[in-house]
Structure formats: C-alpha cells, structure tokens
C-alpha cells in the first residue's frame, strides 16, 4: 500500500477517487488551481484523511494522480520539478467533456504519451479514464463483484503499484501493457471507454486479474 496519494485536481474525477482511496484506509492530499483554502468544504466532506495543499506539495507525493482538464496538463508539468522515478497517474482525457464529440489534437499521440514526454523522470500510468465521473463516484464493488479498471504504462513496477492501488480501492485492475497501446484503447472514443462498450458500465468480475 502506497504512502499518501497526491491528487492534482479536485473536480468530479479527483473527488471521486479521493473518496475511494480514503475508504481503503490511505491518506490523500488534494489541490486545485485556486489554493487550499478554497478546498475547505471538499476536505470537510471527505474527512480527516484528506488535506488540501499547494500544487507543488501535492505533486511531490510518491504517487500523483493528474485529474485536471487537458489544456492545463502540459503547462503545469512544465512548471514542476523532475519526477525522479515517482509515479504519475494520468486520468485525463483529450476532450472537453467525457464522451463528447471533439477532442484536442495531439498529433496522433495519446494524452499519456504527451504527459510522459513532458514529465521528466516520471513513470506514467494511464488509468481511471474509461468511466464517466458519475460512475467513478459509485462504489467500485457491489454484490455482483468489482467494476473493471484498465491501466497501461511502460514501467512494469509502476503498473504493479497502480494496479495494487486500484485493487485496494475496490476495482478489478486489468493491465493493458504499454502506454502507446493501452492508452489508445482507453481514450474517450476508444474501444474500452464506457459507452462505446456499454457492458463495461456494469461488468464486474469476482477476482483480481
Ligand atoms: N468528468 C468525467 O466524466 C471524466 C471521466 C474520465 C476522465 N476525465 C478527465 O479527467 C480530468 C478531470 O475531469 P473532471 O471532470 O474532474 O474536471 P472538473 O470537474 O472540471 O475538475 C477539474 C479540476 O482541475 C483543477 N484544475 C484546473 N486547472 C488546474 C491547474 N492548473 N492546477 C491544479 N488544478 C487545476 C480544477 O480546479 P479549479 O476549480 O481551481 O480550476 C478542478 O479542481 C479531465 O482531463 C477529464 O477529461 C473526466
């Protein structure tokens, strides 16, 4: 189990993930673009295992989830210091709204490939982006089993660590392998995004894969 998890972005996705992570017994530090004081109501709602900090402090965690709008990602990465092997979990999508038509043009790359190129020394893992925030906010597991959560990344140990986090919080982690292949599958208009593959909204498995 990882130490305190950093989540950059306290919107629909960041808050849903924070709630699951604290429910699994781990601490979370959160930030937004406007400073920790603006997150007091969010911290109060999520409970004592959650703290709001400045972006630089949140991004210094050993495992940092990026859950911010795509246009903010690369500018922020350019401001942050080198990652020195820390894990950057990319939950972003190259679209203004989940599953809406229209997307940011990335020259044929996935967001995670752009993130990897912009985050010196980070071990990037793509996940938490195939379900809409409304589904992410639901309990990851129910009486039928665990909801599937895909992940991909080029570093095997980082994929294992993020897979363990995914399993800890109640999903069934499904490892898709490399960033280029797995991240393309997870794009909002890719074959594994809920909606293009409707059963993923409800599919559950009873074991960790
Ligand atoms: N919504 C979905 O269904 C869904 C599903 C999967 C993936 N995604 C992807 O996940 C990401 C987050 O989506 P969301 O729906 O959670 O968005 P959201 O509700 O609009 O929240 C965005 C959060 O990012 C923060 N933020 C923006 N710019 C920032 C910066 N430069 N530094 C730090 N924090 C910053 C915002 O803070 P302020 O309020 O201070 O600006 C806000 O807390 C997006 O890339 C989206 O495409 C969304």
> Closest Cα to atom 30, ligand 1: which residue?
33
> Closest Cα to atom 10, ligand 1: which residue?
92
> The tokens of 201 are what?
């909204």
HEC-encoded secondary structure of the chain? CCCCEEEECCCHHHHHHHHHHHHCCCCEEEECCCCHHHHHHHHHHHCCCEEECCHHHHCCCCEEEECCCHHHHHHHHHHCCCCCCCEEEECCCCCCCCCCCCCCCCCCCCHHHHHHHHCCCCEEEEECCCCCHHHHCCCCEECCEEEEEEEEECCHHHHHHHHHHHHHCCCEEEECCCHHHHHHHHCCCCCCCCCCCHHHHCCEECCCC
Pocket test for ligand 1, best of 29, 33, 55, 56 (most atoms within 8 A of CB): 33
Percentage, residues of the chain above pLDDT 90: 71
Phi, psi dihedrals of residue 43, rounded to the nearest 5°: -65, -40
Question: Please, is 61 exposed, middle or buried when counting C-beta atoms within 10 Å of its C-beta (0-12, 13-18, 19+)?
Answer: buried
At 108, the pLDDT band (50, 70, 90 cuts) reads confident
Give the global pTM.
0.93
Binding site membership of 195 for ligand 1 (Cβ less than 6 Å): no
Strands 145-153 and 123-127: antiparallel
Distance (Å, rounded) from C-alpha 181 to C-alpha 62?
25
pLDDT higher than threshold 80 for residue 206: no
Distance (Å) from CA 75 to ligand 1 centroid:
14
pLDDT higher than threshold 60 for residue 10: yes
Give me the mean pLDDT over the 183-209 stretch.
63
Average pLDDT, the chain: 89
Ligand 1 nearest-atom number relative to CA 76: 31
R_g (Cα) of the chain, nearest Å? 16
Distance (Å) from CA 163 to ligand 1 centroid:
22
Binding site membership of 11 for ligand 1 (Cβ less than 6 Å): yes
pLDDT at 100: 59
Distance (Å, rounded) from C-alpha 150 to C-alpha 200?
11
112-130 per-position pLDDT tens digit: 999 999 999 999 999 999 9
Binding site membership of 42 for ligand 1 (Cβ less than 6 Å): no
Ligand 1 nearest-atom number relative to CA 66: 11
Distance (Å) from CA 39 to ligand 1 centroid:
14
18-46 per-position pLDDT tens digit: 999 999 999 999 999 999 999 999 999 99
At 96, the pLDDT band (50, 70, 90 cuts) reads low
156-168 per-position pLDDT tens digit: 999 999 999 999 9
At 200, the pLDDT band (50, 70, 90 cuts) reads very low
Cβ proximity of 150 and 186 under 8 Å:
yes
Distance (Å) from CA 81 to ligand 1 centroid:
21
Distance (Å) from CA 28 to ligand 1 centroid:
17
Distance (Å) from CA 79 to ligand 1 centroid:
18
pLDDT higher than threshold 70 for residue 89: yes
Distance (Å, rounded) from C-alpha 104 to C-alpha 163?
28
Q: Which fold has domain 5-205?
A: Rossmann fold (3.40.50)
Binding site membership of 169 for ligand 1 (Cβ less than 6 Å): no
Q: Tell me the β-bridge partners of 50.
A: 28
């Amino acid at each position: 189990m990882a130490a305190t998890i950093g989540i950059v972005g306290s919107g629909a996705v960041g808050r849903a993930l924070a709630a699951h992570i604290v429910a699994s017994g781990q601490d979370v530090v959160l930030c937004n673009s406007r400073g920790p004081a603006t997150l007091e109501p969010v911290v109060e709602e999520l409970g004592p295992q959650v703290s709001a900090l400045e972006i630089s402090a949140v991004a210094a965690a050993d495992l940092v989830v990026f859950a911010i709008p795509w246009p903010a990602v690369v500018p922020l990465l350019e401001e942050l210091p080198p990652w020195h092997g820390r894990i950057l979990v990319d939950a972003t999508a190259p679209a203004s709204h989940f599953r809406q038509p229209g997307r940011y043009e990335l020259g044929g790359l996935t967001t995670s490939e752009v993130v990897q190129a912009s985050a010196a020394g980070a071990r990037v893992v793509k996940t938490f982006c195939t379900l809409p925030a409304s589904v992410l906010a639901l309990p990851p597991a129910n009486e039928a089993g665990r909801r599937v959560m895909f992940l991909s990344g080029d570093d095997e140990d980082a994929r294992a660590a993020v897979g363990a986090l995914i399993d800890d919080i109640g999903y069934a982690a499904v490892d898709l392998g490399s960033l280029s292949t797995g991240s393309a599958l997870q794009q909002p208009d890719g074959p594994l995004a809920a909606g293009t593959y409707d059963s993923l909204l409800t599919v559950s498995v009873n074991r960790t894969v």
